[in-house]
Amino acid sequence: MNRRLYVSALAALTLAACASAVVTSRPWTPPVDAGGWSPAEASTRATGLGLPGGAVLADGVRFAGGLTLLTVPSSPLHSLSDLKLTGDGGFVAVSDAGDLAQGRLKLDGRGRLVGLEAFRTRRLTLTDGAPISDKAEGDAEGLAVTASGDLLVSFERDHRIWNYGPLTNLRTPQAVRRPDFPFPENDGMEGLAASADGWRVAGESGGVWDCSPVRCRVVVAPPETPLPDGEYRITGMDRDPAGGWFVVQRLYRPPLDVRARVRRMDEDGALGPVLVELKLPGTTDNFEGIAAERHGDRTRLYILSDDNFNAVQRTLMLAFDVR
């Protein structure tokens, strides 16, 4: 993903859209490992959609709560680049610094997102079991949980997809099929999601593939000219419980135009109408993660932004219900 800095004016506009209530937390301290996982301290602040004229929701879509994640600069709960749900009220996220994080969603009596809790993290490992130690090896961008429960992580720079086994019993990773395509160093496999018999991959600068243990098939061919930052590019993807997929797209045109969209994707890779659009003067940031699950008679979507360890960006989680 692109690492350009957002200017302070963007921070002022977006932070003005936040609610003021803060959940108090203790200062974060280096934790003691337990079973490979370490507890992590964080707090959350309620966050709305911001000023009028920013967020645009399609008919049948409603906002179901939002949060800003607050933690110290040294915490591994920064630069979270994808998100998936674990089916038990929990979530798992991956960072482009090479960390894996877990936590639990806190909902109120109406089912709205009001908090995050029980954070813990661990370092992703190499195939020899050693912890990832540098950015070139640990630039994780995509996350998927297969039908059999295995955790897949896609990386850029060194473009690969690794299977870490079940989340409840992680092991040293094994390489699995990935598209036979020369992705640009910093524009890799940002979209990763489970499919009925494998996993679907979307490249940030274009292209969609369906992969299985034996091959990857082109669904949408990459464009001859890679999509630039100034166009909407897929940065996250998850399976739609009703069939097909949901994707989140990001656009950045310096110095201030930062936008995100949520859309459906069908089996042929075609994108449907925009369900959610986020832009200034409303709440917006570098959205890269998306997760979906059935929630009553609707589908609940959670989208997550990557703060890049940048003081003028935020880690946001927003929830939407789609009819």
Which residues are within 8 A (CB) of 59 and not within 5 positions of it... i.e. 6 or more apart? none
267 belongs to a structural domain: yes
Average pLDDT, rounded, for the chain = 91
Q: Report the DSSP beta bridge partners of residue 142.
A: 154
| Residue position matching structure tokens 């395509």 | 181
Query: Kind and range of the H or E element at 15?
Result: helix 8-15
293 belongs to a structural domain: yes
Instruction: Grade residue 8 by pLDDT with cuts at 50, 70 and 90.
Output: very low
Token pair belonging to 183: 């992705």
**Using one digit for the tens of pLDDT, what is the confidence trace for 213-240?**
999 999 999 999 999 999 999 999 999 9
Determine how β-strand 56-57 pairs with β-strand 18-22.
Answer: unpaired
What burial letters (b/e) apply to 119-154, b meaning 16+ CB within 10 Å? bbbbbbbeeeeeebeeeebbbbbbbbbbeeebbbbb
Which residues are within 8 A (CB) of 14 and not within 5 positions of it... i.e. 6 or more apart? 50, 280, 283, 284, 285, 314
62 belongs to a structural domain: yes
213 belongs to a structural domain: yes
Instruction: Grade residue 294 by pLDDT with cuts at 50, 70 and 90.
Output: very high
Which of 105, 39, 44 has the alpha carbon at shortest distance from 293? 105
Which residues are within 8 A (CB) of 128 and not within 5 positions of it... i.e. 6 or more apart? 172
Token pair belonging to 169: 């019993």
127 belongs to a structural domain: yes
**Using one digit for the tens of pLDDT, what is the confidence trace for 108-121?**
999 999 999 999 99
pTM of the model: 0.90
3 belongs to a structural domain: no
* Cβ burial, residue 220 (10 Å; 0-12/13-18/19+): middle
pLDDT at 35: 65
pLDDT at 36: 87
**Using one digit for the tens of pLDDT, what is the confidence trace for 134-169?**
989 999 999 999 999 999 999 999 999 999 999 999
Q: Please give the Cα distance from 159 to 181 (Å, whole number).
A: 10
Answer for the pair 220, 201: CB distance below 8 angstroms, yes or no.
Answer: no
- Looking at the chain, the whole-number percentage of residues with pLDDT higher than 70 is 89
Q: Report the DSSP beta bridge partners of residue 22.
A: 45
Calculate mean pLDDT across residues 277-287.
98
1 belongs to a structural domain: no
Domain count, the chain: 1
**Using one digit for the tens of pLDDT, what is the confidence trace for 246-280?**
999 999 999 989 999 999 999 999 999 999 999 99
pLDDT at 241: 95
Q: What CATH number is attached to the domain comprising 182?
A: 2.120.10
pLDDT at 33: 52
For residue 117, the enclosing domain spans: 8-322
**Using one digit for the tens of pLDDT, what is the confidence trace for 166-193?**
999 999 999 999 999 999 999 999 999 9
310 belongs to a structural domain: yes
Answer for the pair 26, 242: CB distance below 8 angstroms, yes or no.
Answer: no
- Looking at the chain, the whole-number percentage of residues with pLDDT higher than 90 is 86
